[in-house]
A and B are shown apart, each in its own frame.
Chain A
Amino acid sequence: MIPILDRPLVQFGLATAAVLILPLVMRSGTLASEILIFGLAVAACNLLLGYTGLLSFGQGIFFGIGSYVAGLGLVRAGLPAPVMLAVSLGVGALVAAVVGWVSIRRQGVYFVMLTLAFSQMFYFLAYTFSGITGGDNGFLDIPRPTLVGTRLTDPWTYYAYVAVLFLVLFAALQRVALSTFGRTLLAIRDNEARAGAIGYPVRAFKVAAFAISGAVTAFAGALHAMLIGVAPLSNIDYHTSETLLIMTIIGGSANLFASLLGAGAYLLAADALSAIWPRWLLALGLLLIVITLFLQRGLWGLIERAIALVTRAPPPDDPARPVGTNPPVAHAPEVAR
């Protein structure tokens, strides 16, 4: 039986509630839009990490490419925003399929290193070909989309635009996760060798998961470029990949709403902390260590525990659902004690 909070309708309801509540409780429409945009990218990251068991340090590639593609189309070619969102979706899928196809040639840790190296490669591509990307300055003057003739320059109207697209893509990701395809991804995550032995083309499934994840991430990157009016070099940086992963794990990779939770918690904390302490990343580093030691299911795990406490149901086993690339290694250093 699926726990109540993991049911698809409940999940979608939670996401809708979050979208509706943000404008009521937040002063900055820009920050609220950012939460949804990163929430989308993090959910896409989670499709790889939580559902397929692939820990990719390459998500920043797709986010950055989405930003650049949207910028190029909107500024150089003057194409309308919906067209460029669709194009970035397509380009993201394509690039992610290629990166995924090469990266999955190695497994486990090697795979992680490869995605990280790819992320560096695309960063230096963007850096080297500054004629196209603007190099250090980023790609400038990206306009907001228009709707019935008016440009969405007001932060909250753009938020509404983002919110609708967010809910559509969130639902789409849910469909993917619930489909036979998504179930097969779970099987691959839990036991790749067995999934292969049954006859599933494991590699093709992984590449497809990569493509879907990359497409949604690039879409989020495009929305982000329109939000801040720039496609900055930092969007394609290793740090973006790292941040997306950190957000995913802070939220917990149990379900897609947990990803929105992770993005929201990270961005709100960053916003509050960076104002009072420029070196707040030190606190983030410590938080990651604490999460590893005590909170392996992330913030979502905390909520599950709280609910279990209230309903007096047994709490879910801590790292029960694996969130990692690999099962724990058979290692018993304690034997020596």
Chain B
Amino acid sequence: MTYLFQILNGIGLGMLYFLLAVGLSIIFGLLQFVNFAHGAFYLLGAYLAYEGVERGLSFWVAMPLAAVIVAALAGVTERLLLRRVYKLPHTFHILVTVGLALVVQEFVIIVWGPLGGNVAAPDELSGVMILGDFIYPQYRLFVIGFTAILAAALWWLLDRTRLGAIVRAGSESPQNMALLGYDTLSINTAIFALGAGLAGLAGALAAPMRGVEPFMGVEALGIAFVVVVIGGMGSYAGALAAGILVGVAQSLMATLWPEGARLVIYLGMAGIIMAMPRGLLGRA
């Protein structure tokens, strides 16, 4: 029973990891841009949800609002700053986003202090679900269901809609898309905002599960990279599979060997890279 509980827990965690990683993957796929500020967007999403709830907003308002604000901020940043560095080597992508991440992290500490805080789960979901001798927090069930719907919607958006086709074509050849009359600059901004917004949403959803603290962004960045590396860059299904794999592994380890839970994730990643350098489902 403990294992079933941990596996379910892991799936919930894994879906959050997927939300985090898929944005990173989309941004890289379309813009060839390495976003080291991705963890900072997650951090910001968590803190904005925290602030919203502290101010008396319902979590149901604060959570999407946080994601939208993060997306908007990311869009503005892309427009004002990041598009100036796309053409530079990757080193400078990393440098500028590491700088951005530092600015966001220090800003969070200035505004909300270094100690962090807790976010209460919404009242409707604060209880547990009981099925026989199986007890599970309702909020975590909600996270699993909600992210599953979101994942399906995202897949539909990228694989079945015109926008998705434009995005995929844009990642193949931005020049051709521009020649066809598409405003590739705006598409870039929109995709960057979407990816960052997903990271912000993951942060807001994670806040009631694990609270907020200023250094959660760095950890999230590490996890997102591991998920992308294991799943294979640019693979949507890979990000989903790897996200759940990492989440479940981490959850199971929490009962087997708590101190080593994080270690095992990274060891697993190294093992997978040795065995299959492209990741589980990578194409390139």
Which residues of A are in contact with B by a Cβ distance under 8 Å?
49, 55, 102, 105-106, 108-110, 112-114, 116-118, 120-121, 124-125, 127-128, 238-239, 242, 246, 249, 279, 281-282, 284-289, 291-293, 296, 319, 322-329, 331-333, 335-337
Contacts and interface: CB of A to CB of B under 8 A. Distances in A.
19 contacts: A109-B233, A112-B34, A113-B229, A117-B270, A120-B222, A125-B263, A128-B260, A239-B218, A279-B109, A285-B99, A288-B98, A291-B95, A319-B88, A324-B90, A329-B32, A331-B32, A331-B174, A335-B174, A335-B184
Given A49-B91, A106-B277, A332-B174, A124 B96 contact: no
Contacts of A109: 28, 34, 90, 233
B226 A331 contact: no
B185 A336 contact: yes
A114 B109 CA distance: 29
B103 A286 contact: yes
Interface residues of B, number: 57
Contacts of A332: 174-175, 178
Nearest to B183: A336
A325 B89 contact: yes
B103 A282 contact: yes
Given A118-B270, A285-B103, A285-B106, A296 B34 contact: no
Given A293-B85, A331-B86, A55 B91 contact: yes
Contact of A289 (B81, B87, B174, B270): B81
B103 A238 contact: no
Given A105-B277, A286-B103, A288-B95, A333 B184 contact: yes
B179 interface: yes
Given A293-B85, A333-B174, A108 B90 contact: yes
B195 to A, nearest CB: 15
Interface string B96-112: 10111111011101100
Contacts of B84: 293
A9 to B, nearest CB: 29
A109 B250 CA distance: 25
Contacts, number: 162
Nearest to A282: B106
Given A121-B267, A281-B105, A292-B92, A331 B87 contact: yes
B259 interface: yes
B149 to A, nearest CB: 29
B19 interface: no
- Interface centre among A114, A124, A238, A319, by most B CB within 10 Å? A124
B266 interface: yes
Contacts of A102: 270, 273-274
B168 interface: no
Nearest to B258: A128
Nearest to A116: B225
B188 interface: yes
A64 B272 CA distance: 25
Instruction: Tell me what chain B mostly uses at the interface: helix, strand, loop, or mixed.
Output: helix
Contacts of B233: 109-110
A329 B175 CA distance: 13
A112 B266 contact: no
Nearest to B218: A238
Contact of A110 (B91, B100, B229, B267): B229
B103 to A, nearest CB: 4
The 5 closest A-B pairs by CB, nearest first: A324-B89, A288-B99, A285-B102, A121-B266, A324-B91
The interface centre, meaning the residue of B91, B103, B260 with most chain A CB atoms within 10 A of its CB, is B91
A335 B262 contact: no
Nearest to A293: B84
B255 to A, nearest CB: 16
Interface in B64-100: 81, 83-92, 94-96, 98-100
A322 B89 CA distance: 8
B95 A292 contact: yes
B226 A117 contact: yes
B5 interface: no
Contact of B106 (A114, A249, A281): A281
A70 B89 CA distance: 37
B134 interface: no
A333 B267 contact: no
Contact of B182 (A125, A279, A336): A336
Contacts of A323: 89, 91
B33 to A, nearest CB: 9
Given A49-B91, A112-B90, A285-B103, 15 more contacts: A116-B225, A117-B226, A117-B269, A121-B266, A282-B107, A286-B99, A288-B95, A289-B99, A319-B89, A323-B91, A326-B90, A333-B86, A335-B175, A335-B184, A336-B184
Contacts of B174: 331-333, 335
Nearest to A288: B99
Interface in B135-152: none
A335 B222 contact: no
Nearest to B177: A336
B68 to A, nearest CB: 24
B225 A288 contact: no
B228 interface: yes
A326 B89 contact: yes
Nearest to A330: B175
Given A114-B229, A249-B91, A333 B222 contact: no
B88 A296 contact: yes
